[in-house]
Amino acid sequence: MSNYKPKKSNLKSLIAKKKMKIEALSKSTNISVDQLNDYQSKKVMSLSNAMAIAKELDCQVEDLYDWKVVKE
How many structural domains are present in the chain? 1
Burial class (CB in 10 A: 0-12, 13-18, 19+), 18: middle
The pLDDT, as a whole number, for residue 71 is: 81
Give the CATH number of the domain where residue 23 resides: 1.10.260.40
The pLDDT, as a whole number, for residue 30 is: 98
Give the tens place of pLDDT for each residue, 18-71: 999 999 999 999 999 999 999 999 899 999 999 999 999 999 999 999 999 988
Q: What domain range includes position 31? A: 2-71
* pLDDT exceeds 80 at position 5: yes
* pLDDT exceeds 80 at position 2: no
